[in-house]
C-alpha cells in the first residue's frame, strides 16, 4: 500500500511538472515590499525577496547570493488536514519533468514531531525517503520546519533550506510546490487530483 501511495504522489507531481511550460505570472517582490519585514517566529530571519505563489495560498521567501550561487528559502503554506498533512517545495535544475527534481518536504511524524528533509524524485515512483547528502545533485543544507499561527489566519508550516544552485544555470529555475491532507506510515499520501493541486507549478528567477 505504501508503494502504491508513493506512486500516486509521484504521478501527480509528474502531471504538474510536465505542465511547467505554462509559467504563470505571479508577484515577485523586492526588499521594498512587506515580505522584507515578515518575521518568522523561531528563526527571526528576514528575507529580502519573496514570491506570492498563485496556488494553495503559499509564499516563497528567499535571499539569493549571486557570488556564492546560493539561495536561502523559507516556503510558507497553510497546514492541510487539520495538522495531519504535508507540504513540499522543490526545484528541477535540468528540465520541466518530475524526474530530476529535488524537494524539501515537511509533515508531522507519527511520534508527534514536525520533520523536514530533502528528498530526490529520481524516478516515477520515488521512495519519498530522506536523501543522503551523497545522493543530492544540488547540495541542500539547513533544512528545518516550524509551525506558525498568524492572528485570524490558518496555521502555516514554514520549511527552511539553503540550496547551492548548479553552476552555469543562471538564476531562473522551474519549481513546484504542493500540499496533501494526510500522511500514512510516515509517508506523504496522495494530494487531490484537481484544482490548485495540479496547477501549483511555475518558474522563478531568484535574482528578482
pLDDT one-digit tens code per residue, 149-181: 765 667 889 999 999 998 888 899 999 888 889
pLDDT at 47: 87
Share above pLDDT 70 across residues of the chain, in percent, rounded to a whole number: 75
Identify each DSSP E strand in the chain by its residue range. 28-29, 49-52, 59-65, 70-78, 86-92, 101-108, 114-121, 140-148, 156-164, 172-180, 183-184, 187-188, 201-205
Please choose, from the candidates 183, 12, 169, the residue with its C-alpha nearest in 3D space to the C-alpha of residue 91. 169
Q: Give the integer Cα–Cα distance in Å for 160 and 16.
A: 23
Range in 117-131, 136-150, 168-182, 193-207 the model is least confident about: 117-131
pLDDT at 129: 83
More confident of the two residues 18 and 95: 95
pLDDT one-digit tens code per residue, 7-64: 344 434 434 444 433 344 455 555 445 566 677 766 677 888 999 889 998 999 999 9
Domains of the chain: 49-205 (2.60.40.1210)
pLDDT of 110 > 80? The answer is yes
Query: Can you tell me the mean pLDDT for 114-127?
Result: 82
DSSP 8-state symbol, 189: P
First-to-last alpha carbon distance for the chain, in angstroms, is 43
Alpha-carbon dihedral 26, 32, 35, 39, rounded to 10 degrees: 170
Q: What is the pTM of this model?
A: 0.83
Q: Give the integer Cα–Cα distance in Å for 208 and 206.
A: 5
Query: Can you tell me the mean pLDDT for 68-86?
Result: 90
pLDDT at 208: 87
pLDDT at 36: 61
83, 97 in Cβ contact below 8 A? no
Q: Give the integer Cα–Cα distance in Å for 62 and 58.
A: 13
Range in 18-32, 59-73, 110-124 the model is least confident about: 18-32
Residues in contact with 113: Cβ distance below 8 Å, sequence separation at least 6, in sequence order: none
Amino acid at each position: 500500500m505504501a508503494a502504491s501511495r508513493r506512486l500516486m504522489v509521484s504521478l501527480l507531481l509528474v502531471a504538474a511538472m510536465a505542465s511547467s511550460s505554462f509559467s504563470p505570472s505571479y508577484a515577485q517582490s523586492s526588499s521594498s515590499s512587506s515580505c522584507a519585514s515578515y518575521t518568522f517566529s523561531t528563526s527571526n530571519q528576514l528575507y529580502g525577496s519573496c514570491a506570492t505563489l498563485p496556488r494553495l495560498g503559499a509564499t516563497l521567501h528567499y535571499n539569493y547570493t549571486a557570488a556564492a550561487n546560493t539561495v536561502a528559502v523559507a516556503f510558507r503554506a497553510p497546514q492541510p488536514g487539520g495538522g495531519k498533512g504535508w507540504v513540499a517545495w522543490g526545484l528541477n535544475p535540468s528540465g520541466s519533468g518530475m524526474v530530476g527534481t529535488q524537494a524539501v518536504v515537511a509533515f508531522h511524524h507519527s511520534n508527534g514531531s514536525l520533520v523536514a528533509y530533502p528528498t530526490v524524485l529520481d524516478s516515477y515512483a520515488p521512495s519519498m525517503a530522506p536523501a543522503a547528502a551523497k545522493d543530492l545533485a544540488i547540495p541542500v543544507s539547513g533544512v528545518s520546519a516550524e509551525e506558525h499561527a498568524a492572528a485570524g489566519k490558518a496555521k502555516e508550516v514554514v520549511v527552511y533550506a539553503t540550496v547551492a544552485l548548479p553552476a552555469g544555470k543562471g538564476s531562473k529555475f522551474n519549481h513546484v510546490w504542493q500540499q496533501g491532507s494526510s500522511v500514512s506510515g510516515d509517508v506523504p499520501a496522495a494530494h487531490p487530483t484537481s484544482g490548485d493541486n495540479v496547477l501549483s507549478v511555475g518558474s522563478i528567477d531568484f535574482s528578482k
